[in-house]
Structure 1
Amino acid sequence: MKTTQEFEKIYSNYWEKLYVFAYKMTGDSNLSKNIIQDVFTNLWERRAEINIISIENFLFRAVKNHILKFYRQQKHNPSVLDETLEKLTEETSEYASSDYAEFLTPLLEKLPEKRREILLMNKLQEMNIDQIAEELQLSKQTVKNQLSSALRQIRIELAQLSWLLLGLISGSFLLNVCLILS
């Protein structure tokens, strides 16, 4: 790839596939767009010094590496884990039918029964603390404490599993992409 025409052809052939791949891994449209932009900028800037055998493999690997780098940088940011938990527990058609449920279920099963019930009432049934306290005949403070403890426990579990999950998700998604493209 030496000319702008060759670069533009590569860009037009791959940007959308790469965006879908990045979005599936991150769930963040802006982050995905930024990653794709960085990958193509890097490709253009290094075009003279790199020897690419398979442009498709190179691009998908570059996107995956950028995403892993982002998550490594965010590893100690608790808001990232909170957002991940929110996405995993939202009851929308997008997440309810996804593979995330198989990873979230064992985490929820590790919670004590009452704590799990409170968390699910809050996240899935969208009940507030007052409603949960009234229905379960508990004090508001008990509900707050149990909800906080549940989120903290899941956050710890997610931190331990985050790299495994990312690898599994990216690996299975990449396999699906390769199967679709072949």
Structure 2
Amino acid sequence: MDILIFEAIFRLHYNDLCNYALRYIQNKDVAEDIVQNFFITIWEKDIKLTEENILPYAYTAIRNGCINYYKSELIRENFLNEALEELEFQNEEEEPFLYKKEVRLAVNKLPEKCRKVFLLKCIHDLKYKEIAEIMGISVNTVKYHLGEAFRMMREELKDLL
């Protein structure tokens, strides 16, 4: 790919692709890394892209990069703690959350898959299909685990209502 064409494509689409990645990843630095990795890949592999076909290819690659990021996050041991801290932080920004300790304990009691599905849906606001891709399960299994998580959370927190 010609350096001038590559540079023009980069300048024209970089910000839009970062904003697209931010829809999936609520961390600006990570979103920018994913977009930069996309551009590095197309440069290194000398992928022939034109103005007409760059966006469909880019959106798919960026979305897959975001999904891969979440897959790697699931592997990390402190994924649960980070998600719970994010929940706690979000609630502190909006209004004081009286039952954060009880919710944290209830989330910790969920079976591992239910907990991961619950956090990906409720904290990261991913769609069922995206959660299914990240976890390597079907959409129906995502729905099942989410239903179970909500049922268990309702049962665990019933005394608070």
Name the TM tier (shorter chain).
0.5 to 0.7
1:33 aligns with 2:20: no
**In the TM superposition, what whole-angstrom CA distance separates every residue of 1:50-90 from its partner, at most 9, and x where no partner exists?**
56662101111111111111211221324223323443451
8 Å CA contact 1:26, 1:32 repeated in 2: yes
More divergent stretch after superposition (27-36 vs 151-160): 151-160
Report the CA distance between 1:23 and its aligned residue. Answer: 2.0
What displacement does 1:25 show? 1.2
Number of residue pairs the alignment of both structures matches: 122
Query: Conserved in 2, the CA contact under 8 Å of 1:81 and 1:155?
Result: no
Alpha-carbon distance between aligned partners in 1 of 2:53 and 2:111, rounded to the nearest angstrom: 39
1:44 to partner: Cα distance: 0.8
Distance verdict in 2 for CA 1:81–1:21, change over 3 Å: farther
Q: Give 1:121's match in structure 2, choosing from 78, 95, 98.
A: 98
Aligned to 2:2: 3
Aligned 8 A contact 1:25 1:169 in 2: no
TM-score (norm 1): 0.54
Is 2:106 the partner of 1:150?
yes
Which stretch of structure 1 is more off in the superposition, 69-78 or 36-45? Answer: 69-78
1:86-108 superposed Cα distances (whole Å, 9 cap, x missing partner): 43451346xx9xxxxxxxxxxxx
Q: CA RMSD in A?
A: 3.2
CA contact (8 A) 1:22 1:63 kept: yes
Distance in 2 separating the partners of 1:69 and 1:8: 26
Contact 1:85 1:155 in 2 (8 A): no
Q: Distance in 2 between matches of 1:60 and 1:31?
A: 16
The correspondence of residues 27-106 of structure 1 with structure 2, limited to 5 A, is 27-48=26-47, 50=48, 54-88=53-87, 90-91=90-91, 92=93
Relative to 1, partners in 2 of residues 1:159 and 1:77: Cα closer, same or farther, differing over 3 Å? same
Picking from 160, 174, 177, the partner of 2:117 is: 160
**TM-score, length-scaled by structure 2:** 0.59
C-alpha displacement at 1:122, in angstroms?
4.8
The match for 1:19 is 18
Give 5+ residue unaligned stretches, structure 1.
97-119, 124-142, 171-182
Provide structure 2 residue ranges, at least 5 long, that are not aligned to the other structure: 131-161
Aligned amino acid, residue 159 of structure 1? K
